[in-house]
Amino acid sequence: MITVTHYLMLSAILFAIGTLGVLTRKNAIVVFMCIEVMLNSVNLTFVALSRHVGNLDGQIFVFFVMTVAAAEAAVGLALIIAFYRNRESIDVDDFNMLKW
Amino acid sequence: MENLVQEAIQNVNLHAVMPSLILTVAGMALLMVAVFSPRGKTTHIAWLSIASLVVAGVVTLAGWNDTQTGFAGSVQLDNFAAFFSMICIIAAGLAILMSDDYLKREEFPVGEYYPLILFTTAGAMWMVSGTDLITIFLGLEVLSVSLYILAGFFRDQQRCNEAGLKYFFLGAFSTGFLLYGMALLYGVTGTTKIYDIAAYVQANPDTTTNIMFVAAGLLMLTGFFFKIAAVPFHMWTPDVYQGAPTPITAFMSAGPKAAAIAALLRVTIICLAGIQDQLTTVFWVLAVLTMTVGNLIALCQKDLKRMLAYSAIAHAGYALVGLVAWNEIGLSGILFYMLVYTFMNMGAFAVLVLIGRRGEEQLTLEGFSGLGYKKPVLGVALCIFLFSLMGLPPTAGFTGKFYIFAGAINEGFIWLAVIGVLNSAVSLYYYLRIMVFMYFKEPQEDFSWVTINAATAVSIVISVAGVLYLGIVPAAVMQFAKMAGL
Amino acid sequence: MADNLLTIMTFFPVLGMIALLFIPRDNDAMLKSFALAVSLITFLISLPLAFDRVFTTSGGMHYREFYEWIHVGEFFQMNYNVGVDGISLWLVMLTTFIMPIAILSTWNAVKKNTKGFMAMLLLLQTGMLGAFISLDLFLFYIFWELMLIPMYFLIGIWGGANRIYAAVKFFIYTAVGSLLMLVGIIFVYYYAVQSGAPVNGFGVHEFYQLDLPYNAQFWLFLAFGFSFAIKVPMFPLHTWLPDAHTEAPTAGSVILAAVLLKMGTYGYVRFAMPLFPEALPTFIPYLAFLSVVGIIYGSLVAMMQEDVKKLVAYSSVAHLGFVMLGIFAMNMQGMAGGMIQMINHGVSTGALFLIVGFLYERRHTRMISEFGGLAGKMPIFATIFLIVTFSSIGLPGTNGFVGEFLALMGAFESDLRWFAVFATTGVILAAVYMLWVYQRIMFGKVTNPANEDIKDLSLREIVVMLPLLVFVFWIGIYPNTFFDKMNPALEQLIEQMNNRQVAVVEVVEPVVANVVDYK
Amino acid sequence: MYSNLWLIPFFPLLGAIINGLFGKKIKNEAIIGSIGTLAMFLSFLVATQNFFRLIGDSQKVHEIVLASWMSVGNLQVNWELLLDPLSAVMIMVVTGVGTLIHLYSIGYMHGDPGFYRFFSYLNLFAFSMLMLVLGGNALVMFIGWEGVGLCSYLLIGFYIDKKSAGDAAKKAFVVNRVGDFGFLCGLLTLFWALGSHGVWTINFVEIAANAHLLEAGGVLITVVTLAFFLGATGKSAQIPLFTWLPDAMEGPTPVSALIHAATMVTAGVYMIGRMNILFAMAPSTMLTIAIIGAATAFLAASIGFAQNDIKRVLAYSTVSQLGYMFLAMGVGAFSAGIFHLMTHAFFKACLFLGSGSVIHAMHHAYHHAHLHDDPQDMRNMGGLRKKMPITYWTFLLSTIAIAGVPLFSGFFSKDEILWWSFGSTAGHPIFWIIAVAVAGMTAFYMFRLVFMTFFGEQRTDARARDHIPESPWTITVPLIILAFLAVVGGYVGVPKILGGGNHFGEFLNPVFGHAQELYDLHAHGSHAVEYTLIALSVCIALFGIYMAWLMYMKNPKLPAEFTAKFAGVYRFVFNKWYIDELYDFLFVNPCKRIGTFLWRAFDVRIVDGIVNGCAWVLKGCGAGLRYTQTGYMYNYAVAMVVGVVVIVGFYVFG
């Protein structure tokens, strides 16, 4: 029998994976994908909890998260492209003009 | 069925969102205008957006003292929201004023710029008036997304790209934590409306000992900590502030930050009052860390924008002091302080905008040598802002700090106050150094490129007036802040 | 006029400053004369105070003015709450009196940006006057900090070679202290409010009645005392002084010595001591010790200086030591001695800085070794320098003696007897370093060819010095002019502190000594 | 009745102000000189009037309050003058001798660019001295006390371009300051001590009236009197503070005569006399004073042997004579001390002026012959009695007087002291022995001086020899008057035993008698003893004169042989017992070294170092911390995650 706990565990794991990805991966796109993973793990949590507590607020929240994620994707990719135009690279190691 | 719809429609109550609605609509309209106006002509858009801001401001003030709740209690335009909305509006207005000429100088006069600022402001307003985690989240995102764009606005300038990207990635990253926290909070309390959450905690006190609840609350707060640049979530700030277009930096350091603090306050005070003890400790540590790290690193900065970025971090720390106090004085102190900070910091940046050259290369300390003699008026203005940032009477910075520390001391956090004042003593050094270069060094160049245009001048004048007014006769505004306290 | 004389007096200079800003910056003569006029008028405005007999009869506050200023519900009330009593009276007079002299003294010294210079001086004057008349801690703090800003620019822009370091050091060093005091001020207020004691904003008189627990008083006195000790400056917090004095332009040094340093001592008398009397006895021995160390240490260090201005700066440390010792004796003689010594130091050391300024204007050096044998070249200067030297040594008949003598007498009467004995050695050391420098500059043959055709004082310079000399002798010969107005206030202050169970040496009522002829 | 007393100090002050302010304009020496002298003379007249008025008066103590000075709490100080026999005598001496010396100076300072300055200072000095002696309370006295110090500073350093003069002036003032330190401590302690018995006063009369409140011979009174005595040693050049006086001879000779012989240096003696009751109450202090006095007298006399500078010999003789006076005070012979003070004022002033006249002449001669020999060195003199007879005779008479030859003033005063030092209740035969020995030495070195200067063959450079003139009348007249006083001055106080009535002692009795009887200070002993002692002392004096004649007249080889034989002793004595060097080693150099250390090492390095250190450390922290801003996004992310983990973890797992 699969309980809400399992869902939460799964989403927690996903969230952790996403976080670690952000910390470790160098390719901007991949990093962005990791962030998406984090957001989606949150969505999973919401849905699971919504089912658990028995009202729809959580699921409504998920809709908003998805839209926002979409918007962010648009903006983020645009920024990455702009950067690529100037540096011919999307390696996050190259985001290092501004420091100290 | 129909009466359900009826009810839903009655619940909407557009008054509660009128200001942000105005700005949103204006923003969209201006986007259209921008599309159809000739290339490089943006001044009229600037003035139109100013107008829309004014309207929004008037509407907000008109709603003073009558609390409007809308969208089934997920938005609440109360004094608290109104006060912060005004801060955001002022910030946006000042930013726009100093932008027009700046965009021309940077040879990137693009119309979307102003609507984006309006959207940011609208988002900020949602954020400050949101009483539902969803609305707060939405506001935050609307604000952020448009800020990502603005931060990286000059797409052909690498530093600007980089600023935008860093802001975007880290912002999104922190959003993840925020959301996760919200999700867990929802899971524990079964609702996303913060007043219901408060009620739930009231009803079953054992929640406060529920690890899940505590963790959820803290996770959610980290999202806000990121926005207000509290150590250790501050690291994006210097890079982004330095890279972003100066007016945007100014705006970021005032408006969105104020909004974030507002949301932080509302969520903390209402939902998390149950775990005040734990939180106070967190805030205490964060406040000290933030003040100290910000000031210390600022000590050895050469680039003005970067220096002000670190000083912004430090000031976030001062604001947190009020939150530590967690009493009426401290909290309303934060409101007052954010307003003060808006004026003094944006004023300082306005001067930077004028001094700067294309590509922002001239904003090092040496670049300021002898400014006070070549451009006396600008010099005096900048001095006033700096003295205010130092927290010296008779400027607003002093009254603001006084207000906040008063809160802390009143609550018995003497040592926190001592650390705070010692920090501002440290901060004296780097602010004074700017003046050292402005007045005590011989001019190296004649600042011929500095042309004082009306709009920026106006923004500076407004800031000076604000700083002095809030410094010398702050009673009235303090009264407002008091009324706006949660 | 009379009922808000203080306000007019205090803010007239800043109004003058604003007016000054509209004078074209290249019209030096007009700028100077305008500033001079403003300062003179301020002096005239303040004159009625000096002649008001009311101070001789009652020690309370007079010329009170009270306006509500910042009132935010029960959060805080700040009031514009000012007044003078016998204690602040003479410091106010000193301020208004020294300012025209300072301005006149820089007639030719300041070359660049006269406008800014004069503006800063006038702003500074408002700050100083405000600090002396404030009866509201918040107001006091505002003026206190306000003084830093113009001084910072005076040192930094018109100062000497190492001016930037000196200016920043001065600013931060003094600010650190005052910021801690700010915490103290806020604490006192909220303690009063929470303990339901009657408060009148930050009004100091209500706080006098506030009975804080000893523990709180201990820390508060530490906060206030630290801030004031920096300003005084007491050893070992004095190191900003030599730098600031040496680098500051003449007018700056004069005002710094004459008035700003008094802020510290005045702060002790008006705030630190009467506010926290129970904690006072704990600190007095240490403070007295530091004062004595300051006297001896300052003298010894001054003795070996090669730069006249540094020498005078260190001598200030010694002189202020006498002031502090007298004050901490906490009896009439000591207090009055300390107070009058504040004025004396203002007059004498101010005069000394002017003298150094004259030398500097002529030779653009302050190194003692550069001079020698000037007495023959510039007799008038020699005479004036001599008088000032001896007033600073404390020769009876000059002002210096009255102050030092009374301060020591007070100390001898109090429990600080042994400190006083050591302090008295300062009398010897003062003679050593002052006479030595005088000899090295004035006596002997002219060895340095640069001094061959050095000019004697001009009429303007004599005019600058004369008023100071008048006071050198006035205070020396008939100090009662000042004591008459000072005593009631001091008596009240001491009584008030005694009533708060301060352990001070009890004063035996004098009995009439029966005079006998021996025959 | 004595309401015009204030005129006495006022006239000199007026003269000082006039000459000081307008002297430069006046220029004319005659006018300036006469203003100065006239001022003195007027105050002399007033003094005389009051003096005789006081003699006639039964009421011997008069206080005149001129004005209030400072009134603070329980301290009430007035500008008040006190006229009693003691001060009466002093004002006579000061104004009298002062007038003569002013007159003298007109001639002596002739042609000096600082002529007006000189007279202004001299008048100012007279003013201060008169304030000192007339002061009715300790503070007014202290005004004079410091005032004379100031004037002596100014006058010693009168030749501003002479470095040695400047040094001497500074030394004089600083050493005196050490004394003033004592004076202040004494005064303040006394004020508090009496105050703690309820009498807050510094008025002399009240002090005297209430002294009994203090415990006689107690610690307190001893401390107070010792402190005052320290002050006295400073002013009156006693051990340990005598070193400044010989150097003070850098000043013009009239200054030496007036300040460093007749008046100022006796201030210490006067002060002890003024507070005699307190001293009488402290036997141990009295003993100290007597010892110091005797020691000083001997030390100075011994140094006087070996000096060749005419003025320095006189200087050491002055120190030695002052030692006498202190000895007198120490053994309770107050009136004798004052008596010797007076006679000493006469003959020593005369001697100094005489030497001045000689120096003046020598200087004139050398100047005329364009030589740069030292006009003060006795080895360049000799045989001057032909050239300047008046100077010679006056000088001789005074020398006889100081040598203590019977029937001359010095004899009477000195003899009184000798007798008391032997027979007083506070005395001791040892004191007598030392005193007599010193008397002999005095006779010796004084006549050595006379013989070397006025007798024998002329050792002056041949070219200058014929240009040595007798001095003008302004110089000689004072000499004559003073010589006359030196001869007869003693007759006012001829002791009873010699058929006199010791009128002087009687006159001063109202001041001293009280203390003397209260604390049992009197000389006792049979007349036989007293006669023997007198005889002995006279013999020793004559023996000294004979020795001088033997060594410097009969066969002038002897001194050389002596010095050759006792080279060590001679060098020791010649170098003034190396006292100056000792003080430099003990006090001056250490002070300088400490000062330099405190400044360069302590103040700059440590005290200021800590301040700058704080700033440096903070900046260092900043410089370190800024490198956490690596610019790499994922590091920032790591920081955030760490933050989250710590914050959340702290509560969830902690």
Burial class (CB in 10 A: 0-12, 13-18, 19+), B374: middle
Q: Provide DSSP, D21-47.
A: HHHHHH--HHHHHHHHHHHHHHHHHHH
Could you tell me which chains touch chain C, where touching means 3 or more CB pairs under 8 A?
B, D
Determine the Cα–Cα distance for residues A45 and C436; give it in Å rounded to an integer: 87
Residues 168..187 of C with a Cβ closer than 8 Å to D: which?
169, 172-173
Domain limit, last residue, from B240, B271, B302: B271
- Asked if B375 and B234 sit in the same domain, the reply is no
Q: Closest to C444 (Cβ–Cβ): which among D163, D510, D514?
A: D163
CB contact under 8 A, C183 and B393: no
pLDDT per residue as tens, chain A (100 positions): 788 899 999 999 999 999 999 999 999 999 999 999 999 999 999 999 999 998 888 999 999 999 999 999 999 999 999 999 988 888 888 888 888 7
Confidence bin at C504 (pLDDT 50/70/90): very low
Determine the Cα–Cα distance for residues C490 and C495; give it in Å rounded to an integer: 8
Confidence bin at B362 (pLDDT 50/70/90): low
The pLDDT, as a whole number, for residue D529 is 85
- C390-400 tens-digit pLDDT: 999 988 889 99
- Asked if B266 and B285 sit in the same domain, the reply is no
Q: Which residues of B touch C156 (CB under 8 A)?
A: 435-436, 439-440
Give rounded-to-5 percent helix, strand, coil for chain D.
80, 5, 15
- C131-190 tens-digit pLDDT: 999 999 999 999 999 999 999 999 999 988 889 999 999 999 999 999 999 999 999 998
The residue range of the domain holding A49 is 26-90
The pLDDT, as a whole number, for residue B360 is 57
- B422-470 tens-digit pLDDT: 999 999 999 999 999 999 888 888 888 888 888 999 999 999 999 999 9
Which of B16, B114, B122, B148 shows the shortest CA–CA distance to B71?
B16
Using the predicted structure, report yes or no on whether residue C508 has a pLDDT greater than 50.
no
- Asked if B246 and B302 sit in the same domain, the reply is no
Nearest chain C CA: its distance from D433 CA (Å): 35
Domain limit, last residue, from B237, B271, B305: B271
Q: Which residues on neighbouring strands pair with residue D72, listed in sequence order?
A: D75
Taking CA–CA distances from D635, the nearest residue in chain A reads A23
Confidence bin at D224 (pLDDT 50/70/90): very high
The pLDDT, as a whole number, for residue B236 is 93
- Asked if B96 and B241 sit in the same domain, the reply is yes
Does any domain span residue A58?
A: yes
Confidence bin at B1 (pLDDT 50/70/90): low
Instruction: Specify the pairing of strand B68-70 against strand B75-77.
Output: antiparallel
Q: Which residues of B touch C157 (CB under 8 A)?
A: 439-440
- Asked if B246 and B300 sit in the same domain, the reply is no
Q: Which residues of B touch C187 (CB under 8 A)?
A: 409, 414
Domain limit, last residue, from B229, B249, B271: B271
Determine the Cα–Cα distance for residues B436 and D84; give it in Å rounded to an integer: 70
Which of B297, B330, B291 shows the shortest CA–CA distance to B313?
B291
Residues 88..127 of D with a Cβ closer than 8 Å to A: which?
none
- Asked if B343 and B244 sit in the same domain, the reply is no
Confidence bin at D651 (pLDDT 50/70/90): confident
Which of C43, C39, C41, C49 shows the shortest CA–CA distance to C2?
C49
Taking CA–CA distances from C239, the nearest residue in chain D reads D608
Does any domain span residue A42?
A: yes
Per the model's pLDDT, the better-predicted residue between D554 and C64 turns out to be C64
Q: How far is CA B469 from CA B217, B250, B400, B465, B466, in A?
A: 38, 21, 12, 6, 5
Does any domain span residue A15?
A: no
Q: What is the number of structural domains in chain B?
A: 2
- D166-202 tens-digit pLDDT: 889 998 999 999 999 999 999 999 999 888 888 888 8
Confidence bin at B361 (pLDDT 50/70/90): low
- Asked if B7 and B138 sit in the same domain, the reply is yes
Q: Which residues of B touch C74 (CB under 8 A)?
A: none
Confidence bin at C512 (pLDDT 50/70/90): very low
The pLDDT, as a whole number, for residue B453 is 87
The size of chain A, in residues, is: 100
Measured between its terminal Cα atoms, the distance across chain A in Å is 53
The pLDDT, as a whole number, for residue D370 is 81
Q: Which residues of B touch A80 (CB under 8 A)?
A: 165
- Asked if B23 and B65 sit in the same domain, the reply is yes
Using the predicted structure, report yes or no on whether residue C207 has a pLDDT greater than 60.
yes
The pLDDT, as a whole number, for residue D423 is 83
Nearest chain D CA: its distance from B66 CA (Å): 38
- Asked if B84 and B174 sit in the same domain, the reply is yes
CB contact under 8 A, B299 and D642: no
The pLDDT, as a whole number, for residue C503 is 41
Using the predicted structure, report yes or no on whether residue D249 has a pLDDT greater than 70.
yes
CB contact under 8 A, A57 and B191: yes
The pLDDT, as a whole number, for residue D494 is 82
Determine the Cα–Cα distance for residues C190 and C201; give it in Å rounded to an integer: 10
- B93-106 tens-digit pLDDT: 999 999 988 888 88
Is B75:B129 a contact under the CB 8 Å cutoff? yes
Determine the Cα–Cα distance for residues B264 and C330; give it in Å rounded to an integer: 53
The pLDDT, as a whole number, for residue C261 is 92
Nearest chain D CA: its distance from C232 CA (Å): 16
The pLDDT, as a whole number, for residue B55 is 95
Percentage of chain B exceeding pLDDT 70: 99
CB contact under 8 A, A98 and D637: no
Q: What is the mean pLDDT of residues C495-502?
A: 75
Domain boundaries, chain C: 1-275, 277-504
Q: How far is CA D350 from CA D151, D337, D471, D600, in A?
A: 21, 20, 14, 52
Tell me the residues of B at the C interface, defined by beta carbons under 8 Å apart: 328-329, 332, 373, 387, 392-394, 398-399, 402-403, 405-406, 409-410, 414, 417-418, 421-422, 424-425, 428-429, 432-433, 435-436, 439-440, 473-475, 478-479, 482
Determine the Cα–Cα distance for residues D485 and D491; give it in Å rounded to an integer: 10
The residue range of the domain holding B259 is 1-271
- B108-129 tens-digit pLDDT: 888 889 999 999 999 999 999 9
Which of D572, B394, D290, D309 shows the shortest CA–CA distance to C70?
B394
Is C327:C334 a contact under the CB 8 Å cutoff? yes
Does any domain span residue A7?
A: no
The pLDDT, as a whole number, for residue D1 is 67
Interface size, chain B vs chain D, as Cβ–Cβ contacts under 8 Å? 77
Q: Which residues of B touch A5 (CB under 8 A)?
A: none
Using the predicted structure, report yes or no on whether residue C13 has a pLDDT greater than 90.
yes
Q: Which of C90-94, C439-443, D552-556 has the highest mean pLDDT?
A: C90-94
Does any domain span residue A97?
A: no
The pLDDT, as a whole number, for residue C501 is 56
Neighbours of A26 (CB within 10 A): 14
Q: For an interface test with C, give the residue of D63, D72, D180 to mutate (most C CBs within 10 A).
A: D72
Determine the Cα–Cα distance for residues D37 and D11; give it in Å rounded to an integer: 10
Using the predicted structure, report yes or no on whether residue B157 has a pLDDT greater than 90.
no
The pLDDT, as a whole number, for residue C513 is 34
Q: Closest to B170 (Cβ–Cβ): which among D615, D628, D633?
A: D633
Q: For an interface test with D, give the residue of A24, A91, A96, A100 to mutate (most D CBs within 10 A).
A: A100
With a CB cutoff of 8 Å and minimum separation 6, the contacts of B87 are: B254, B255, B258, B338, B339, B342
- Asked if B420 and B304 sit in the same domain, the reply is yes
Residues 315..344 of C with a Cβ closer than 8 Å to D: which?
331-333, 336-337
CA dihedral C352, C354, C359, C364 (to 10 degrees): 120
CB contact under 8 A, C479 and D69: yes
**Strand, coil or helix: C308:** helix
The pLDDT, as a whole number, for residue A67 is 94
CATH number of the domain encompassing residue A58: 1.10.287.3510
Q: How far is CA D268 from CA A86, D141, D229, D526, in A?
A: 96, 11, 8, 32
- Secondary structure (H, E, C), D604-650: HHHHHHHHHHHHHHHHHHHHHHHHHCCCCHHHHHHHHHHHHHHHHHH
- Asked if B235 and B296 sit in the same domain, the reply is no
Determine the Cα–Cα distance for residues B232 and B246; give it in Å rounded to an integer: 24
Q: What is the mean pLDDT of residues D264-274?
A: 90
Percentage of chain D exceeding pLDDT 90: 20
Confidence bin at B141 (pLDDT 50/70/90): very high
**Strand, coil or helix: D137:** strand
Could you tell me if B299 lies within 8 Å of chain D, comparing CB atoms?
yes
Could you tell me which chains touch chain B, where touching means 3 or more CB pairs under 8 A?
A, C, D
Q: What is the mean pLDDT of residues C245-273?
A: 92
Is B19:B60 a contact under the CB 8 Å cutoff? yes
CB contact under 8 A, B226 and D636: no
- Least confident window among B138-147, C6-15, D214-223: D214-223
Q: What is the number of structural domains in chain A?
A: 1
Q: What is the mean pLDDT of residues C373-393?
A: 90
CB contact under 8 A, B475 and C145: no
Does any domain span residue A70?
A: yes
Alpha helices in D157-264 (DSSP H): 163-195, 204-210, 219-235, 244-247, 253-257
Q: Which residues of B touch D626 (CB under 8 A)?
A: 297, 300-301
The pLDDT, as a whole number, for residue B168 is 94
Could you tell me if D654 lies within 8 Å of chain B, comparing CB atoms?
no
Does any domain span residue A57?
A: yes
With a CB cutoff of 8 Å and minimum separation 6, the contacts of D153 are: C435, D169, D170, D172, D173
Confidence bin at D39 (pLDDT 50/70/90): very high
Could you tell me which chains touch chain A, where touching means 3 or more CB pairs under 8 A?
B, D
CB contact under 8 A, D634 and A92: yes
Helix and strand counts by DSSP (H, E) for chain B: 20, 2
- Asked if B1 and B56 sit in the same domain, the reply is yes
Q: What is the mean pLDDT of chain B?
A: 91
Could you tell me if A45 lies within 8 Å of chain B, comparing CB atoms?
yes
